[in-house]
Amino acid sequence: MDAAVFGDHPGIVQLCKDAVAASQIDDIPFSFTVICKNADKLEKEFLAECPGIAHPTQGVAVHKPAFIKISPGSEEFQELLFVRPKECSDPEREKAAAFIQSASYLIVYAADADRNLTLAMYLREWYIKTDPFFTRLPFIAMYCENRDRAEHDYYVRSFNRDASMINALVLPYRLFSAGIMFPDWQRFAAGVSQRQLADEFEEWMKEGDDLQRRSRLEILAIQEHGRWNRAMLSRGRMGASAEQLQAYIQRGCSSHQLHIAKLHPFICSWERLGDTDPVETGMQKEYSFIVKQIHPGKEPSDIHEIDRENVRKTPIFLREL
């Protein structure tokens, strides 16, 4: 078993002692590693308190915990999860990458209780996100003072809340794109009712012939998808490949998005989404094929239509805010 401790709690030194005392079983491979930004300090403290482990008596088998100085929340840590260990030029970096990727038991032990929860969620996200086929699912243990609150926050989904809030924030810019704006400072100072803005947007959508109306809708839908992409990226989400999508749906995910790893297959360009008519291409085709294959009775969403419908509902959003 490969166990890794993430965090900077002073009690990690005692945890290392207990691991040496209780987990040393002959003929069973075991490793215990501390990963944090002050690992060198904790290592010195541990070896100072256990000099016999630093210089073991000949013939006495003892496992010495390893210490890796790296912040779990850093870009370097994320790179070690992505990289192939044998491709590392630095032997120490290769060793660190190999261990971090193979760890089967993670212990989160930060000095701050809130940080403990945040770090555990962060590790869960990145261990899943950096494994294309979701075979790397280590057990994660953490200390929490309020178990009910911790369980709620650990499993809560922020996707709908984030999407709704950011969609509301962007409405003034959508109105501006449609040519609906405050013509002078007096009107701005007096205030313009949201209902009036909604009426103006509806009138704008009805102007011209059918071809002009569809063209305007398409322009705003493309803008909406670009806006949604940026919103998702700003919340730490990343695009998912068709292979990843298939892997996590096959493993029981009921949705096309994987919330706990912040992966979403529709985070891509409008062109990459592809078409639904007359011939499916791009992500729409790949997504539809996967859904129909795994859930024959489920009708796949029309991805482009989701963005178009969001634009059509602009007056409703304005009136209900």
Instruction: Outline where 65-193 has alpha helix (H).
Output: 75-82, 91-102, 113-129, 147-155, 159-177, 185-190
Instruction: Confirm if 36 and 138 have CB atoms less than 8 A apart.
Output: no
| Residue 85, both tokens | 């260990």
- From 136, 155, 174, the end of a domain falls on 155
Indicate if 178 and 126 belong to the same structural domain.
Answer: no
Indicate if 121 and 163 belong to the same structural domain.
Answer: no
Indicate if 127 and 18 belong to the same structural domain.
Answer: yes
- What is the per-residue pLDDT for 314? 94
Indicate if 260 and 307 belong to the same structural domain.
Answer: yes
**CB-hemisphere CA count at 13 Å for 205?**
19
Range of the domain at 122: 2-155
- CB count within 10 Å of CB 61 equals 7
- From 90, 125, 155, the end of a domain falls on 155
- pTM to 2 decimals? 0.74
- From 105, 134, 155, the end of a domain falls on 155
- What is the per-residue pLDDT for 264? 93
CATH code for the domain in which residue 6 is found: 3.40.50.720
- What is the per-residue pLDDT for 98? 86
Indicate if 134 and 184 belong to the same structural domain.
Answer: no
Indicate if 136 and 174 belong to the same structural domain.
Answer: no
- What is the per-residue pLDDT for 297? 86
Q: How many residues does the chain have?
A: 321
Indicate if 185 and 278 belong to the same structural domain.
Answer: yes
Indicate if 105 and 171 belong to the same structural domain.
Answer: no
Beta bridge partners of 239: 264
- What is the per-residue pLDDT for 318? 87
Indicate if 205 and 134 belong to the same structural domain.
Answer: no
Instruction: Output the tens digit of pLDDT for each of the chain's 321 residues.
Output: 788 999 989 999 999 998 888 765 666 667 889 999 999 999 999 999 998 887 877 766 677 899 999 999 888 888 888 888 888 878 888 888 888 888 889 999 998 888 888 899 999 988 888 887 777 778 999 888 788 877 777 777 777 778 888 888 888 889 888 888 655 555 555 556 788 888 999 999 999 999 999 999 999 999 999 999 999 998 888 999 999 999 888 888 878 888 888 899 999 999 999 865 555 678 998 999 998 898 888 888 888 999 999 999 999 998 887
Indicate if 133 and 174 belong to the same structural domain.
Answer: no
Indicate if 141 and 187 belong to the same structural domain.
Answer: no
Indicate if 65 and 175 belong to the same structural domain.
Answer: no
Amino acid, single-letter form, for residue 6: F
Three-state SS at 281: coil
Report how many domains make up the chain: 2
Closest of 92, 65, 80 to residue 3, by C-alpha: 65
